[in-house]
């Protein structure tokens, strides 16, 4: 890279807009949405979609709720033309959906595009030509009046020749894009948009769409917002104009630029699912729509099964949604950090049904978009005690006592350190069982029975110590007390029971009971044991044996 001072690049010029209004506004409604997946997105694919894939994708966009869908560039290729004809002739376009077609300002291309729309119930003719100084200088070698003339001649042709479509029942609307609007002088962008509008003669009932694209993202989002507000305030027929956005993501701020431009007065947004598009991509409509959803704004788009949408997208485009892609990525609702896991678990437990969503580190309820809660907390060497307890509870139903969290967390963290990778829920469960539930040495319980008389419980039990059987008996105020007293007759280390917690695991006749017992050794060591059985009494006795074996293992 060039050392300082950097003179190879220059800052993007700001907009002179001293009375800007957008910084103090709040978004309160969703824009009109237009998907450009089947054109702008499709042209960016290494392997463009087949006709059958485009049909499936079109149906997906309709199910999501898009009412305006750019379906192709019919004058560019026979495949594009045939796809549009198939949509129309097979009546695959719902009555409330408008198809949009893209076309450059050339007489033959306009004619071919109009031909593709025969019989369409509702269509948007998206006309564009390049307007920036660099395009005028390097590509076309034309002056401003020539560029305006290109746009107005094509507009007049659509108005004139499109009458045949209108007379046949097609609702025909015009969208005009001064391509590379964001790098065009604002006064010239306004001039050419006004000239096109003069020819089209829109009305508030039948407005023109002026699409103001950030074809390549050059500036910070606030400058883009200034450009949009400047246009909104200078257009003569603002009430007969729909201001549309088409942002790209070259600087990584396509969503932010769109949100600020909506504050600046834009009415409509073009973009693609998951941001597919040329170079770094188009606006990600999924992210923008769900951002609005989390602000309490109804979007009109249904992303309630984001996994199914992602599956169609990945299969048809042969692209993958990155694991950290907002909302849809595999890991976006996953916390590995111990402090994050603890905060999520605590705030989730306090969430009240019907109250505003207020779970720490998770800005949207995963259930709103069909995501599972299973992957919210995952365990690696960075994870904390609360995360391990959460996984055991959510995946396997074990409600560990609070005091046990630190103990199991240390065990699992040591395992994760040794493995060097993330632990699966099955591995966590296996380690928990091995440490607590499946211990049968050096002490093993072979038989246990109690009788009660005059509030005194007497137990008869058989245990093995290092493989040798020992018959024990004892009495106390309950089964646990009786068993602990019986153990005192052996050479096993003395201990006392500090706490006892139990709960059911599962439901119905096959449900099991789980017991967690904390003991304290004569040396003051504290640790837990756990037991599981269909008989709650036996579950607690197994928990004592578990704790005793762990005491012996700890020396």
Angle at 26 between CA 22 and CA 31, to 5 degrees: 90
Residues of the chain short of pLDDT 50, as ranges, are none
pLDDT value at residue 555: 79
Answer left, alpha or beta for residue 354, where phi above 0 means left and psi between -120 and 50 means alpha: left
C-alpha to C-alpha distance for 220 and 436, rounded to whole angstroms:
57
Domain boundaries, the chain: 32-317, 338-437, 443-553
CATH class of 443-553: alpha beta
- Taking CA atoms, 59 is separated from 46, 55, 304, 465, 519, in Å, by 22, 6, 16, 69, 62
pLDDT value at residue 418: 87
Q: Which one-letter DSSP state was computed for residue 3?
A: P
pLDDT value at residue 373: 65
- Taking CA atoms, 538 is separated from 32, 442, 450, 479, in Å, by 64, 19, 10, 9
Neighbour tally for 195: CB within 10 Å: 18
pLDDT value at residue 375: 61
pLDDT value at residue 335: 73
- How large a percentage of the chain has pLDDT more than 90? 81
pLDDT tens digits along 324-382: 999 999 888 877 776 777 788 888 888 898 899 999 989 999 999 998 766 665 555 56
pLDDT tens digits along 163-178: 999 999 999 999 999 9
CB 532 within 8 A of CB 503: no
pLDDT value at residue 330: 86
Name 282's Cβ contacts closer than 8 Å, sequence gap at least 6.
36, 40, 41, 246, 247, 248, 249, 254, 270, 271, 272, 275, 276
CATH class of 32-317: alpha beta
pLDDT value at residue 223: 98
pLDDT value at residue 508: 76
pLDDT value at residue 371: 87
pLDDT value at residue 241: 98
C-alpha to C-alpha distance for 370 and 238, rounded to whole angstroms:
40
CB 148 within 8 A of CB 155: no
Q: Which two tokens stand for residue 13?
A: 């010029």
pTM above 0.85, yes or no: no
C-alpha to C-alpha distance for 390 and 378, rounded to whole angstroms:
9
C-alpha to C-alpha distance for 434 and 148, rounded to whole angstroms:
77
Neighbour tally for 449: CB within 10 Å: 12
C-alpha to C-alpha distance for 544 and 480, rounded to whole angstroms:
8
């Amino acid at each position: 890279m060039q050392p300082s001072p950097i003179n190879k690049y220059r800052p993007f010029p700001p907009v002179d807009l001293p009375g800007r209004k957008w910084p103090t506004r709040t978004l309160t409604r969703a824009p009109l949405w237009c998907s450009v997946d089947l054109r702008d997105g499709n042209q960016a694919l290494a392997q463009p979609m087949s006709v059958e894939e485009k049909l499936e994708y079109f149906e997906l966009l309709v199910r999501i709720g898009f009412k305006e869908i750019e379906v192709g560039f019919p004058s560019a290729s026979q495949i594009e033309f045939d796809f549009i004809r198939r949509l129309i002739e097979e009546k695959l376009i719902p009555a409330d959906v408008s198809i949009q077609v893209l076309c450059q300002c050339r007489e033959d291309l306009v004619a071919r595009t109009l031909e593709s729309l025969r019989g369409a119930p509702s269509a948007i003719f998206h006309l564009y030509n390049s307007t920036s100084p660099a395009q005028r200088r390097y590509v076309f070698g034309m002056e401003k009046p020539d560029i305006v003339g290109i746009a107005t001649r094509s507009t007049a042709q659509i108005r004139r020749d499109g009458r045949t479509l209108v007379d046949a029942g097609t609702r025909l609307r015009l969208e005009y894009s001064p391509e590379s609007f964001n790098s065009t002088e604002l006064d010239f962008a306004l001039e050419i948009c006004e000239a096109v509008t003069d020819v089209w003669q829109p009305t508030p009932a039948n407005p023109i769409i002026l699409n103001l694209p950030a074809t390549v993202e050059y500036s910070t989002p606030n400058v883009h917002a200034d450009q949009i507000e400047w246009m909104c305030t200078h257009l003569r027929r603002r009430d007969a104009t729909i201001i549309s956005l088409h942002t790209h993501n070259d600087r990584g701020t396509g969503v932010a630029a769109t949100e600020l431009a909506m504050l600046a007065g834009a009415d409509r947004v073009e973009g693609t699912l998951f941001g597919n598009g040329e170079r770094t991509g188009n606006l990600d409509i999924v992210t923008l729509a769900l951002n609005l959803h989390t602000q309490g704004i109804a979007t009109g788009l249904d992303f309630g099964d984001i996994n199914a949408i992602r599956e169609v997208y990945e299969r048809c485009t042969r692209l993958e949604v990155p694991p950290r892609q907002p909302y849809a990525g595999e890991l976006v609702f996953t916390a590995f950090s111990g402090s994050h896991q603890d905060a999520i678990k605590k705030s989730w437990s306090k969430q009240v049904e019907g109250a505003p969503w207020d779970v720490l580190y998770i800005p949207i309820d995963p259930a709103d978009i069909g995501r599972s809660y299973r992957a919210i907390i995952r365990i690696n060497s960075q994870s904390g005690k609360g995360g391990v307890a959460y996984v055991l509870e959510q995946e396997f139903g074990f409600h560990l006592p609070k005091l046990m969290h630190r103990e199991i967390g240390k065990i699992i963290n040591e395992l994760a350190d040794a493995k060097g990778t993330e632990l699966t829920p099955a591995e966590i469960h296996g380690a928990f069982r091995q440490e607590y539930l499946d211990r049968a040495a050096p002490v093993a319980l072979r038989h246990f029975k109690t009788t009660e008389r005059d509030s005194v419980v007497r137990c008869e039990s058989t245990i093995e110590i290092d493989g040798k059987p020992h018959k024990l008996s004892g009495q106390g105020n309950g089964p646990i007390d009786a068993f602990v007293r019986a153990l005192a007759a052996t050479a096993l280390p003395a201990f006392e029971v500090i706490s006892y917690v139990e709960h059911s695991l599962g439901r119905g006749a096959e449900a099991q009971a789980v017991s967690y017992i904390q003991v304290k050794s004569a040396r003051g060591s504290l640790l837990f044991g756990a037991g599981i059985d269909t008989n709650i009494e036996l579950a607690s006795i197994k928990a004592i044996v578990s704790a005793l074996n762990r005491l012996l293992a700890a020396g």
